[in-house]
Chains A and B, each alone.
Chain A
């Protein structure tokens, strides 16, 4: 039987790349993604006895919830609602950059829901379970997030659909 440390290290080696992608999509910032993933892995090491049978599920949950928690602490410094929904400058021809910019102006929960639904490919029920909210809230939050993306970046309509 593997020791806890060896199993943890194996897990980190095998899953860091995938978890890094998720962390980056959740935060939109390489440094924040690094902090977020390190925090999640630290928590995993801390509670390894409990979660060693399914560490990835635990780490992902921490990523999702910690990101929202961090955002709450940061949000007072963010832009006011008056400018929040203003369309992003459409000068960039790079669609990816535009989507990244637009994602960065969503709330953490909206962004997290989109990542869960369209990157992790979770169903509404699965996303709801991961975030500890109802499936209906996931549904309405997804719709609100897509609607805000349309407002923020109208040029993304072909990507996310032109109508709600």
Chain B
């Protein structure tokens, strides 16, 4: 059916006359670029001249933040984007952090948040848990901004719930265009810096698009696509593929699931993979033996992102199927020891979930994308909430996000508790992508802590403004002094 739609769209597209591009587009674009720089520099210069004249000193953007929670490992209360200018697009090479700021030593210690930032070619950044410092990592083979994988930026990056391991999709750019592009998943121990490489093969290569850790930070499930063609700016995607990586393993086990819509996968502490089927509204699980072990009706609710397993055999996913967005909590008995001691499901009754609990978003946060990040305890799920449309009356703009603790129980904790803000960048759409959080660091009493805002290297415009402004101030002072002395000499 949709093949017919594809063909019809292709026919419509073929009927479109090629646009006659103006010959001065390049010149106009460059003029605009120069205007940008002049305007930025001029505006900053004007401001700074005034400040310098008033005897004020410039301070960094993070000078007013609350004091550091020294030595306490925690998730920060504000997650800042990284300026795009810190990235670098090399000649015939993928984008990377500028050598002067990118870190190749990955032994940075336990982390609290990982994300990709930096505009249209997002690069990986990690915040360390003890000091809230931002580390712009040069992950070997980072696929998120590769020339071939440029339609999936920022997604193949996942910090483990304990904050000790970071997984990412990688590929060997030197093999691009060959019969088999070398690619797969890499995992680094952030405390030792040791990297584990898992190679994936299929078609011309396997491009990893997303990753998720199990709650105990040991298992990993990945999703991606086989590429039929993988060259610079010339890629063709084949079928969706997925796999799971066991604790310590250097190989991946393929997951043979029939996933019509490419449903997003979650994995539990036993390596069981789960997803909610797009068409049938059923919660499916696939254990290590490849046996489908459960089909639970999710009552017509379709997830908008991968769900998350939690403690006590619970599972959370978010949906926007109805008029409101809700998080569902499912609980079901796990396998219990059989007479011979093996774990097995007793009967179908074991598959029946406890009635799902829903928590709607507040009115001023709807409609929004909502993505489970993990569980704090059996009653509390951490979600990343991003409004789909601008919500000016709520003070939000499109792209603003917040980390929220949603409560299942009816206790004193609020059902919707925003505990961290994901600041929006000023470049392009400003969104931080692929956020994952070390939820093991979060507690109900102290879900997040305040850390100083990062101090990024100064931009060229800021250097021009500061040093130029200082120069202008000095000249102005000299002129004033000279004028003053002349005035005194001329005074009878």
Docked complex Cα distance between A114 and B11 (Å): 15
The distance from the CB of B119 to the nearest CB of chain A, in whole angstroms, is 7
Docked complex Cα distance between A111 and B28 (Å): 30
Q: Is the CB of A100 within 8 A of B12?
A: yes
Is A159 an interface position by the 8 A CB rule? yes
Give chain A residues whose Cβ lies under 8 Å from the Cβ of B433: 129, 132
Give chain B residues whose Cβ lies under 8 Å from the Cβ of A44: 29
Give chain A residues whose Cβ lies under 8 Å from the Cβ of B94: 53
Is A122 an interface position by the 8 A CB rule? yes
Give A35-68 interface residues, CB cut-off 8 Å to B.
37-38, 41-54, 56-58, 61, 65
Is A118 an interface position by the 8 A CB rule? yes
Docked complex Cα distance between A65 and B151 (Å): 14
Docked complex Cα distance between A78 and B33 (Å): 34
Give B224-249 interface residues, CB cut-off 8 Å to A.
225, 233, 236-237, 240
Is B221 an interface position by the 8 A CB rule? no
The distance from the CB of B427 to the nearest CB of chain A, in whole angstroms, is 10
- State which of A49, A123, A139, A161 has its C-beta within 8 Å of the C-beta of B209: A123
Is A86 an interface position by the 8 A CB rule? no
Q: Is the CB of B399 within 8 A of A132?
A: yes
Q: Is the CB of A56 within 8 A of B233?
A: yes
Contact digits for B381-411, partner A, Cβ 8 Å, 1 yes 0 no = 0000010100000000001000000000000
The distance from the CB of A52 to the nearest CB of chain B, in whole angstroms, is 6
User: Which A-chain residue is minimally distant from B384 (CB atoms)?
Assistant: A134
Give A3-48 interface residues, CB cut-off 8 Å to B.
5, 8-9, 12, 16-17, 19-25, 30, 33-34, 37-38, 41-48
- State which of A22, A24, A96 has its C-beta within 8 Å of the C-beta of B8: A96
Docked complex Cα distance between A136 and B306 (Å): 8
Give A48-105 interface residues, CB cut-off 8 Å to B.
48-54, 56-58, 61, 65, 95-96, 99-100
The distance from the CB of B135 to the nearest CB of chain A, in whole angstroms, is 22
Q: Is the CB of A46 within 8 A of B36?
A: yes
Is B283 an interface position by the 8 A CB rule? no
Is B185 an interface position by the 8 A CB rule? no
The distance from the CB of A65 to the nearest CB of chain B, in whole angstroms, is 7
Tell me whether chain A's interface is mostly helix, strand or loop, or mixed: helix
Give chain B residues whose Cβ lies under 8 Å from the Cβ of A134: 304-305, 369, 371, 386
Is A135 an interface position by the 8 A CB rule? yes
Q: Is the CB of A99 within 8 A of B12?
A: yes
- State which of B1, B145, B155 has its C-beta within 8 Å of the C-beta of A125: B155
Q: Is the CB of B320 within 8 A of A137?
A: yes
Is B120 an interface position by the 8 A CB rule? yes
Most chain B beta-carbon neighbours within 10 Å: one of A47, A129, A130: A129
Which residues of A pack against B, CB within 8 Å? Answer: 1, 5, 8-9, 12, 16-17, 19-25, 30, 33-34, 37-38, 41-54, 56-58, 61, 65, 95-96, 99-100, 114-115, 118-119, 121-126, 129-130, 132-137, 139-140, 158-161
Q: Would you give 16 A-B contacts (Cβ < 8 Å), ordered by A?
A: A24-B16, A25-B12, A46-B29, A46-B36, A50-B87, A54-B150, A96-B8, A115-B9, A118-B2, A118-B5, A118-B9, A119-B10, A134-B369, A140-B302, A159-B5, A161-B1
Q: Which 3 pairs from chain A and chain B are nearest by CB? A: A45-B29, A136-B304, A24-B16
